């Protein structure tokens, strides 16, 4: 309680974002909580972030992974941050204590890619391009339903509801890093289709979110589109494929309603 009383609103904001997203890079933390517009220079913003993150690390509110983005030469900007044991107690998170471990490079890459998409959406909202009505990371965004084979768990990477003009756009988001086989991607899409057929989401919210697959490049995006289009079991219009560079733009596009999916 004494430690929490010493923390600023910005400190708590950093902890909450890292807790929600599981991993964030120091650059991502700086983009959200130390914007250059609030400092005299970009260098001043970087130094402020360095001081705050160093203090949060000393107090075990955050922990840094041994692996850095960009290697040792990246310096403090390359730090990968997770919630520390003191941070978990300060935020009074329910459930078992998070164990300190070094995740795989694949897990770090994927988790940071999801975090970057969330950062981009929040920054777009701050720029007036959209309103964030709801944003859920894992596991909050997971959906449990009764399928043909019994209890099923749909695990999107994120769920977002965006206000764009007079529209509310609802999305399940899957961040693809070109590490899964195309048949595995199609199986995940079929799980979305199974959940769609239950009508559970539609009964709760009136619409079913579209599913946005975010590919690392256009070549991978083309392959995903082709595989999904060939599968006749998948509802038309449910899946949208884009790339990292166009993800926020695509999430803001108003698409004509198809088969009860969200617009």
Please state the pTM of the whole predicted model. 0.90
Judged by DSSP in three states, 211 sits in strand
Nearest to 165 by CA among 257, 249, 253: 253
Q: Can you give the pLDDT at residue 92?
A: 84
Place 259 in a pLDDT band, splitting at 50, 70 and 90.
Answer: very low
- The secondary structure of 127-149 as a DSSP string is TTS-EEEEEEETTTT-EEEEETT
In this structure, are residues 259 and 236 in contact, taking their beta carbons and an 8 Å threshold?
Answer: yes
Please enumerate in sequence order all residues whose Cβ is within 8 A of that of 86, keeping only pairs 6 or more positions apart, or say none: 3, 59, 60, 61
Q: Can you give the pLDDT at residue 69?
A: 72
The mean per-residue pLDDT over the stretch 10-26 comes to 97
Say whether pLDDT at 3 is over 50. Answer: yes
| Domains in the chain with CATH codes | 2-102 (1.10.10.10), 109-251 (3.40.1350)
Phi, psi of 83 (to 5 degrees): -70, 130
What's the full length of the chain, in residues?
A: 263
Place 262 in a pLDDT band, splitting at 50, 70 and 90.
Answer: very low
């Amino acid at each position: 309680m004494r430690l929490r009383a010493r923390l600023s609103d910005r400190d708590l904001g950093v902890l909450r974002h890292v807790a929600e997203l599981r991993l964030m890079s120091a650059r991502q933390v700086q983009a959200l909580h130390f914007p250059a517009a609030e400092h005299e220079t970009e260098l001043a913003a970087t130094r402020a972030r360095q001081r705050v993150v160093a203090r949060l690390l000393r107090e075990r509110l955050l922990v840094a992974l041994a692996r850095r983005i960009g290697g040792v030469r990246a310096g403090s900007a390359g730090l990968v941050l997770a919630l520390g044991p003191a941070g978990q107690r300060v935020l009074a998170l329910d459930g078992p204590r998070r164990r300190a471990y070094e995740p795989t490079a694949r897990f770090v890459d994927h988790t940071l890619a999801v975090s970057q998409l969330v950062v981009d959406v929040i920054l777009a909202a701050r720029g007036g391009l959209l309103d964030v009505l709801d944003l859920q990371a894992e596991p909050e965004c997971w959906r449990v339903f009764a399928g043909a084979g019994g209890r099923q768990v749909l695990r999107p990477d994120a769920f977002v509801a965006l206000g764009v003009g007079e529209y509310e756009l609802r999305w399940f988001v899957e961040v693809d890093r070109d590490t899964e086989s195309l048949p595995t991607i199609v199986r995940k899409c079929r799980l979305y289709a199974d959940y769609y057929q239950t009508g559970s989401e539609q009964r709760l919210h009136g619409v079913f979110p579209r599913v946005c697959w975010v590919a690392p490049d256009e070549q991978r995006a083309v392959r995903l589109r082709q595989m999904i289009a060939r599968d006749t079991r998948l509802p038309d219009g449910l899946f949208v494929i884009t790339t990292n560079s166009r993800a926020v733009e695509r999430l803001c596009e108003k698409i004509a309603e198809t088969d009860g999916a969200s617009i």
